[in-house]
Chain A
Amino acid sequence: MASKLKWTLLKFAPIFYTIVGLSILAFMWQCVSWGTAPKPGKENETQQIPGPIATIDTLGSVIREDSLLVGQNIGFGQTIMMEVGLNLVPKQSGAEKWINSTFDKDQTYQDSALKSLTVKLIGSLGRVLAGFILGSLLAIPIGLVMGSSKIGLNIINPIVQLLKPVSPLAWFPLGMIALSSAGGATIFMIVITSLWPTLINTAFGVSAIPEDHKNVAKAFGFSLWKYITKILIPYTLPHIFTGLKLSIGIAWMVIVAGEMLSGGNGLGFFAWESYNGGDLGRLLTAIVVIGTVGIILDKLFTYLQEKVSYKS
């Protein structure tokens, strides 16, 4: 009886520890908030950083505003589609004009919708996915080729080592020059910074295929296609997904910095705007949302990684 209780409690241990961890974070946050409280007589000189409870309050009101927008007008969905669409098509093209003419219905409504967190979140996610997918489409094939030969590995390795530590912000101006659009430069920035973990992990995976598995292919005369589909890919897939998980994390981290530089509709810009407007509550809300989405992306890729892993 007592032992059964013990095991039931142990099942909830991870949740319990999560709660403890988050409580410690909230407490430290509250301490910072108290520390920045304006001194008597100097109320107008400094601003107090909102504590966790105040921030949750702001988050609640932001969500309420957004849901009101959704309820008010079915154009909200159109606004999102317009935003995502405008992100993906080149500026001043026919497609852009078509999007504007199709979705542009109620200017005042759209202005308020564009300021909403939901539209900005979706804009950011769209950009991250575009950059991440482009980057992965480059990284996986290059990694596969790189890993399958020692010479390839040795040639590409120094290039990767050199470009990998370059800060995402350093790539932004280059993207601006090359693509002459802020949105394009942001996506370029994501592509080039999120490329490396996938590239390295893919190459490592291919180069680490055990001799035993290769011997099976030799002994039974596997065709190249059979070798790729039955040995190379199954063995490398978990490594590729480890890389993808790291890459999406980097992409999500880079997007905020990118949007602070490029403006436009994204979470980074939302945070910057809130700071400029002196609304620290919204700034912290943005940080909470960024963190939460980061966790969700990480969990999603951990799940996918487990799905493609074999048990030996």
Chain B
Amino acid sequence: METTVIEKEINMETVAIEDLRPNSIEIKNVTVSFDTPKGIYTAVKEIDLTVKKGEIIALIGHSGCGKSTLMGTISGMTKQTSGEVIANGNPVKGPGPDRGIVFQNYSLLPWLTVYKNIFEAVDSVFKDKSKSEKHEIVEKNLKMVNLFEHKDKLPGQLSGGMKQRVAIARAFSINPSILLLDEPFGALDALTKSSMHVELLKLRNLDNREKTIIIVTHDIDEAIFLADRVVVLNNGPASTIKEIVDVKLARPRNKKDIVHDPEYMKIHDRLLGLLIDKFSIDDIH
């Protein structure tokens, strides 16, 4: 009898600790439909999700399941048809400097140097800061992703991984409390991808782990390595949240060791089961 009481107390405590973190993003009953010539297409339907400050959430699902659309409602690039999205306590009405975005295809301006690409974003967001302060911010962020010596190069002269590092530095440079990454490493090779994961977490640690990060991906390993929770979406159209899988792996996580962790394997299997119905040719009968 006594032990259960104690357990209950501990549980209460952990719940209380979690509740201390303020809500960073609240998605309330959000539906997104598009008016197309073929009729109304509903991408995501009645989504509810609350993200705490400092959490890393991975949105995972098949291509076209609406994960990018859902992300769009947070960034403000996509307008929801119904429901409400609240970021940092304010309803999302459009893109804002409190939310930094990293696009899948880097989206660097090809005619501007690496330095200028970041500077224009900083210049646009921190209108009140002096020129030297802005330059300081750009330099700091370029050094953070180890690209300072490449600052005068054009994006066309960089490799895919370097381009994405510039895009990440650009997103960090406006110091957003929420970082939105839309399939950021999808176009990179596996090796570059791995080092980018570590680099991303390093950047977050430099920032006292205060940033909330939402990452859209279709890579299960990426999702587990980075996220605190993995949100699995159903197949579209009108996709909903299928399941939210907690990733209770201690940080800092080690790329090499983590794969041997039984918990990791359990989560991996669970996600694989949620995403894939058929595992071998024999399954078709």
Asked if chains A and B come from one complex, the reply is yes
Interface residues of A (CB under 8 A from B): 212-213, 215-216, 218-223, 226, 230-231, 234-235, 310-312
Bound-state CA distance A312–B107 (Å) is 12
Is B258 an interface residue, CB under 8 A from the partner? no
Q: Is the interface of A mostly helix, strand, loop or mixed?
A: helix
Q: Residue on B with the closest CB to A230?
A: B120
Is B110 an interface residue, CB under 8 A from the partner? yes
B95 to A312, Cβ gap below 8 A? no
Is B156 an interface residue, CB under 8 A from the partner? yes
**Chain A residues whose CB sits within 8 angstroms of the CB of B111 once the complex forms:** 234-235, 310
B101 to A219, Cβ gap below 8 A? yes
Bound-state CA distance A213–B110 (Å) is 9
A226 to B110, Cβ gap below 8 A? no
A230 to B109, Cβ gap below 8 A? yes
**Chain B residues whose CB sits within 8 angstroms of the CB of A220 once the complex forms:** 95, 97, 120-121, 124-125, 170, 174
Closest 7 CB pairs between A and B? A310-B111, A234-B111, A220-B121, A312-B110, A219-B101, A212-B107, A220-B124
Given contacts A230-B109, A311-B110, A312-B156, contact A222 B95 (CB under 8 A): no
Given contacts A219-B95, A221-B95, A312-B156, contact A230 B112 (CB under 8 A): yes
Q: Residue on A with the closest CB to B100?
A: A219
**Chain A residues whose CB sits within 8 angstroms of the CB of B75 once the complex forms:** 219
Given contacts A221-B95, A223-B124, A226-B124, contact A216 B107 (CB under 8 A): yes
Q: Residue on A with the closest CB to B173?
A: A220
**Chain A residues whose CB sits within 8 angstroms of the CB of B110 once the complex forms:** 310-312
Among B105, B123, B124, B154, residue most surrounded by chain A Cβ atoms (within 10 Å):
B124
Given contacts A212-B103, A215-B107, contact A222 B77 (CB under 8 A): no
**Chain A residues whose CB sits within 8 angstroms of the CB of B124 once the complex forms:** 220-223, 226
Given contacts A220-B120, A220-B174, A221-B96, contact A311 B107 (CB under 8 A): no
B109 to A215, Cβ gap below 8 A? no
Name the interface residues of B137-171: CB closer than 8 Å to any CB of A. 154-156, 170
Provide 24 A-B residue pairs closer than 8 Å at the C-beta atoms, listed in order of the A residue: A212-B103, A212-B105, A215-B77, A215-B103, A216-B107, A218-B77, A218-B95, A219-B100, A219-B101, A220-B120, A220-B124, A221-B97, A222-B124, A223-B124, A231-B109, A234-B111, A234-B112, A235-B111, A310-B111, A310-B154, A311-B110, A311-B156, A312-B110, A312-B155
